Chain A
Amino acid sequence: MRPAPRGSGPSEPAARTAEEASLHQELQETWSRDPGLRGWLASNDHKDIGRRFIVTALIFFVLGGLLAFLMRLQLAHPNGTVLGPDLYNQIFTMHGTTMMFLFAIPVMEAVGIYLVPLMVGTRAIAFPRLASFSYWIFLFGGVALYTFFFLNIGPDAGWFMYTPLSGPEFSPGKRVDIWSQLINFTEISALSASIELIVTTFKLRAPGMSINRIPLLVWAMLVTSFMVVFAMPSVMTASLFLTTDRLVGTHFYNAAEGGDPLLWQHVFWFFAHPEVYIIFVPATGFVSSILPAFTRRPVFGYTALVLSLIATVFIGFGLWVHHMFATGIPQLGASFFTAATMMIAIPSGIQVFCWIASIWSGNLRLRTPMLFVLGFLFLFVLGGLSGVMQASVPLDLQVHDTYFVVAHFHYVLIGGAVFPLFGALYFWFPKVTGRMPGEKMGKLSFALMFVGFNLTFFPMHVLGLEGMPRRVYTYLPETGWAGENLLATIGAITLATGFLVTLVNAWWSIRHGAPAGENPWDADTLEWTTPSPPPAYNFLHVPVVDSREPGWTRTSASPIVTGVRSDCREVLLTSLDAEPDSLMELPNPSIWPMVTAMAAGTTFVLACFTPWAVPIGTVLGGIGLIGWAWPKSEDDECEPPRVEDMSEQEKKEGAPRVRL
């Protein structure tokens, strides 16, 4: 379907008819959160939760970045004296843990929580109280981890926590317990967010948004959520075993008692390799969403892109052993993982080539989000190619656990995920805040980040070849690593400045940015057909989707759904083919998910110190869940539809129906 040519510029919301004004009024009353602090805490609006989630994850990103900066200061010169080995080990562990568990996964889920319901054209996320719960879990987990870190009980055995170094014998004290308990805890957040996103995508799509019309970002979030559902239980099992080894006296990882330290590596990497794709796949969704607006054409190769995403998921689960080539894996087994690792370059290649083809055949506008996409292409391809090298067992045995690997995965994670994320922040900033981000500062930020990033991480390839291992708190002057390290530190300052410019830009633009209007970039997905910021109820009329680019094809005369009640929190459920299926009432806002999250957090932290945590937690959690599931009072109950208000047609067919 070819989009019709359209002018640019912010599209003003069409003047409302009196009927629409009263509908707006009613929906606003139904869907708004209650006023005051209690209302704020209880909110289960996916936009509130998404915003909080994104801001919290970005705060953790800043904290993780500061830790990285401290490490760069320590390593700027040989025999550095900024940090001692104990503090350095805590800091690099916290850096990895923060960036992986408290920034990268949550921020991707957060963007999904905010955007997916809007993109599929529904009024709310599935299981809104669970969404609220997942945010509070994430917040409490992150805050607790940092609290212990500031109390000098920060984990210090690396974010990968290899046993037996992380076991009871070689890491006495509470540091590792804190890590394994809080990581377990925080993963609940990602798991529940994934379930919400899967169900939202499968059941809450607007009528007409059949499988072949689902926006690519929603596809990306869907496959990511499936990866989370299959990968997270693995790391939870691993860290549960670690916890019982440490606290209860089991011997899962203790070789002396018939356990095996390698078990940890298998179970951990079975999660931690897919995790890379859990971070990267949503980023490809951002790229595919940003491109159409700035190339003035639908992204090239929709089907190929979707199939690549799905292929990535499947292959992504078959790569974990490439983190373990040096452990003495039999050669035949290693060969299989070499082939699988190389194979994943094919779906990634397909995506990159499709994006380049979109730019080639499009009408390019180089606004800030698009610059981040171009930066992403240059950096991600380089990171991908160095990844292909590491698929080769003999080569990997040399570069494994050196700065070459540090360079590689920062190219794919910062280049491949953080650059698209920043593009996405600029791209959806007007939708979320209603104001345009500053363009000049945006471009400045991009330039600083791109130059700073390469200055920081490119020299690390060379350091790796020169034999510099990872996770060293210092190095000797005679190693000859000083020059590249100093360069990397200078690059880190530039990179940090680039991040800072975006923060300042966001702060300034929220206050002084030009009003954005519904669709300032003239983008193609559904969230751009509702005002910015979106009202609590998302869409005045639930849309009926008739193309892959509803943002370009919908007009005021386009079909909408009628019969979904506006006086209670009712959403339309659709089938896999996006045929209207049934109506469902969603729960009201509630403070109980937060209370339950607090109870769970207390239990997990307490469990590091005393087995009494189990009975105490059972009681606290029980109270939380009872409050959560408490039935609505009669007054809150959604009244059944009054028959006299229905038209003859509605009486016959029942709501909802599609008004064409």
Chain B
Amino acid sequence: MSASPILRAAVIAACSAAVSCTGSHHMLDGAGEHARRVAELWWLMFGVLAVVYVLVCAAIVAAVVRGRRSPADLRMVAASPAQERRMIITVSATVAATAVILFAFLVATYSTSDALSSLARTPADVTIKITGQQWWWDVEYQDPVPSNTVTTANLMHIPVGRTVQLILVSADVIHSFWVPNLAGKKDLIPGHQNTMWLKAERTGRFEGLCGEFCGLQHANMRLTVVVQSEQDYQAWLQSQRLAAAEPSGDLERRGREVFVRGPCVMCHSIRGTDAAGFVAPDLTHVASRPRIGSTVPNTREHLLRWVRDSQEIKPGNRMPPLALSHEDLDAVVAYLETLK
């Protein structure tokens, strides 16, 4: 089905070079069953349509060249009935060819759709509930045992080769869940519950984006997807199930005090402490996440700036600037850094 393997290789090489430092987000670089099949459909349609476009352009150029055969002659032209008939036949034939191509595309589309929906009929190995919020992703791993439920934000680990079911809901406005390397979009709509299925085919780190305009920080509503081997995935899940570790140093302990006694607990939760807010990301393992506020890399400097005044980094986000003293700020950041 690959219409032009060389171009394909070039496109993928170019994009993987460009995004080596973060996750990839190229829709033709399929790392999941869905994206791979769509990429195949893309190359089929692209190949056929590229030929069609070249032919139409050639016809336009040929028509212009032929029409220009006597540019100084401004008399009316009267096509002979025979010529007119030939043109009718040619135009009808091209229209018929168009219809045939469209019909072929229709068949290809339906067969791809059908293949993709077969995924929905296999039992899910992992079920994850994704709640879209302005402007972050709440990711909740469902488990029959409530205490085994794992909550992260803007980060999703999934095992390779397994069927992952995503339950998509929204807490405020419409968002759209999109990891280009894995699958097409699905909207998260208030009052509706959508479901989609993923099956990753290779390990790696991929970038998710919000596909529907959702307000001020739509541009910075990202999600990192880490596809791992089953073993690594289970290890990660186990580590995420643990409550926050007891801080060892004085500074960190003070940080926890500031956190649970300060304004942080109004919104955030850290399992294993008294912090149990639920309108902002769960911070139990915040230090293990690649980005802060789904915007900047998770470094100490960024974390410090974020806690002091996140509006500087992500203007309009729901977290207010905090009036913490220098010492308190250092302590909170030190504590957050222990939450691996």
Contacts and interface: CB of A to CB of B under 8 A. Distances in A.
Interface string A352-384: 111011011111111000000010011001100
B216 A89 contact: yes
Given A301-B91, A378-B60, A465-B11, A331 B74 contact: no
B22 interface: yes
A362 B190 contact: no
Interface size class of B (residues with CB under 8 A): 35 or more
A360 B79 CA distance: 11
Contact of A85 (B42, B57, B210, B219): B219
Contacts of A389: 42, 45-46, 49
Closest 3 pairs between A and B when the two form their complex, measured CB to CB: A255-B191, A397-B184, A480-B18
Interface stretch (A1-9, A182-190, A429-437, A539-547): A1-9
Contacts of A378: 57, 60
A353 B88 CA distance: 10
A357 B62 CA distance: 10
A262 B83 CA distance: 53
20 contacts: A85-B316, A86-B316, A165-B214, A165-B215, A170-B134, A259-B191, A296-B75, A356-B56, A356-B59, A361-B67, A362-B67, A364-B67, A364-B71, A366-B64, A398-B42, A398-B180, A465-B27, A467-B180, A469-B218, A472-B219
Given A359-B67, A397-B185, A346 B113 contact: no
Interface in A110-127: none
Contacts of B1: none
A465 B211 contact: no
Contacts of A467: 25-27, 180, 207, 209
B213 A165 contact: yes
B98 interface: yes
Interface in A287-332: 295-297, 300-301, 304, 326-328, 331
A21 interface: no
A297 B78 contact: yes
B6 interface: no
B90 interface: yes
Contacts, number: 276
A471 B218 contact: yes
A521 B3 CA distance: 46
A125 to B, nearest CB: 32
Interface string B61-84: 011101111110111111100011
Interface stretch (B168-176, B248-256, B327-335): B168-176
Contacts of A471: 213, 218
A342 B105 contact: yes
A362 B69 CA distance: 10
Contacts of A647: none
B194 interface: yes
Interface string B287-301: 000000001000000
Q: Determine the interface band of chain A, counting residues with CB < 8 A from chain B.
A: 35 or more
Given A469-B210, A479-B19, 11 more contacts: A256-B191, A326-B185, A327-B194, A338-B109, A342-B106, A356-B63, A361-B67, A363-B69, A394-B184, A400-B184, A466-B26
B38 interface: yes
A361 B87 CA distance: 9
B79 A361 contact: yes
A392 interface: yes
Contacts of A588: none
A377 B60 contact: yes
A328 B213 contact: no
Contacts of A637: none
Nearest to B196: A328
Q: Which of A85, A89, A331, A395 has the most CB of B within 10 A?
A: A395
Contact of A366 (B68, B212, B214): B68
Interface string B121-142: 0000000000000100000000
B145 interface: no
Nearest to B62: A360
Interface in B174-196: 174, 176, 178, 180, 183-187, 189-192, 194
Contacts of B214: 165
B186 A356 contact: no
A343 interface: yes
Contacts of A501: none
A346 B110 CA distance: 19
A24 B41 CA distance: 66
B176 A401 contact: yes
Contact of B113 (A304, A349, A394): A394
